[in-house]
A = this chain, B = another copy of it.
Amino acid sequence: METATVDLATTLRQQGYRVTQPRRAVWDALVRASGHMTVEQLSRQVEEPVDQASIYRTLKLFEELGLARMSHLGEGEASRWEPAHPDEHFHLVCRSCGTVDHHIGTLVRDIRNHLDDGHGFDVEDVELVVTGRCDDCRA
């Protein structure tokens, strides 16, 4: 967590952005929660209050800097944010309890490879969301 904070400050400064209290607070909340946070949830968990508009701006910046990643996990749902991690993964959303699990595997890379091989499509992003019922919620 300390490491994460340092990384944030370093990355911001390297790219010529200011290291501000709101940015630190949003980043800390994001890291502390380890992912899948809506802007609203973040705004509630942030140490010092930060305006939601600023949270949106901050997260968008983090995304550009490669620090955070957004996903849509379902219909009519707000976007969810998590610290960017290096592994390609996808999300398993339980429609019963709402839990979101990461599933790390070769699947996303397989998709990339499959499309790179002569399908003439230059893949930039793979968004894979699987909805269903998790182990705990099945009968």
B-binding residues in A (CB < 8 A) = 70, 72, 75, 79, 92, 95, 103, 105, 107, 110-111, 114-115, 119-135, 138
Given the complex, which residues of B lie within 8 Å of A132, measured CB to CB? 115, 121-125
- 14 additional contacts, CB 8 Å, given A107-B114, A123-B131? A70-B75, A75-B79, A103-B115, A103-B119, A111-B128, A120-B134, A120-B138, A121-B132, A121-B135, A122-B133, A124-B133, A125-B130, A127-B128, A128-B129
Most chain B beta-carbon contacts within 10 A, residue among A70, A107, A121, A122: A121
Number of copies: 2
Q: Provided the pairs A70-B75, A92-B121, A121-B92 are in contact, do residues A130 and B111 lie with their beta carbons within 8 angstroms?
A: yes
The answer to whether B130 and A121 touch across the interface, beta carbons within 8 angstroms, is yes
The answer to whether A131 and B135 touch across the interface, beta carbons within 8 angstroms, is no
CB distance from A89 to the nearest CB of B (A): 13
